[in-house]
Structure 1
């Protein structure tokens, strides 16, 4: 069995080495950090089983570092605070933020070992890091998103999250989920039609999340409407997501107007990745840290040019696409650091895949005979234009109509005229 790893953070070399010697004699693997900067580096590269963290350090106090880990979703290991002149208020504050315990210096040997043992047992119950809303960044639009979600957190009405596919709707729903209560994600929605009240019983006192409400058929929509009317009785919060224009679906007769009215009481828009590009470097680092923590890969750093390239790239697939690129970079880059050349290589591969999936390359998409009459050249261009948008929307004609700003009837008429097939 691998030895438990303990990170000791203290600016006094004598205390660091004494704690190291004691803990190594007990069979623990010990890492040392003399300040908060070194502790950040260790935490970024691995998840220790326990951190012994001094409160008073010259570069950054331990309470601030504890808050920092908590706010970034990295407080997934037990932390025991240490201080030679702590107060009750400081201990209470540390515990409130998330510290497991508080030790006063000088630390008695038996007290140290007892606390370390208890903290490690507690750590076995803690969840490992996972992508969450705190990882999305610190930009103004993400800060505003968190504020809106916090504002509606205690409401019991249904919530509709509106955002592009892959933009993080599930992260927002999980942000509102209370720990220790049921979480039910309905990716298979047939039971909405057959047993909506059984779903409420199953999720009593918890939360039900429906990733894409626009995909429900008419019977499932009626079941969801019944569920919403009874949810308060079961103390269940129902959160639905959509990347579609629901009012347009109502006009087309494919979505229930009463259901739209019920869902429209509380809505929150989730920004696409392009709306908070400044967060991409931190997102990339967070994704690597999560891979390290789950044992998927060894830690890799990005150079500045690589991070700039990621920030400036196009991300039509939002967080899901970024995550795929980061995983590819970590697993296939050859150097010690991930470089600009690595980013260009991987993004270029993904771009080529996208073009291939669309059924043509950039070269063929521009292959229009400019010597032919204007009418024929215009028809060729429009044909390529609509084929591009149909492929981009995955043959979702409602989405195509929305993207090209045409009424759906006019769109079908135009496609028929140009001989463009939709399937």
Structure 2
């Protein structure tokens, strides 16, 4: 999850980008002009900025220059425009913009550019992976474990066993959890129309759960346009994970 700032004077663009990026799990702030963008940047540093070039008060390239001049260009910035020339895009890139998206922006290009921008600044987590012992040390530890088990039990340690806090546990003795079958909720005794609605409800709930509530990925997975998908979910009474969390 990342904090993304969308700067565009068109309300429809701001709402659309906020909805798409919100479905991807990001926290989105929006500004309709350069002044609002300055205020939001002064409050915190976003992980990524989507910045429109043509705005009524101050254009995006000028705002980009300001941030560079004042040492505030510490995050990736992706420029957007439907009327910019190649020279404008080159200038923005020279100043420090990471990428340039031409309007109307395709969903695939948007998500790819955002992912590249976030990957560029992402730092590997510190301390999350313990240092791996040398191979020789691993072999010695494994031999010691085998010897200790043979001494106490009188036979070699079984494959797949785990030694923890002085006790040996056989992983084979712990049964794997049975997979959940979503079709267990389905009844073949229903009339055709009700059975079809019931199946589609289970189908979309399954994909929403699988994709973590991302409407963008669910749309791609099911082969539906986002507008059609929203309409279908509303018709079936299926709530997205994000909507259900808001009700809790």
**TM norm structure 2:** 0.49
**TM norm structure 1:** 0.29
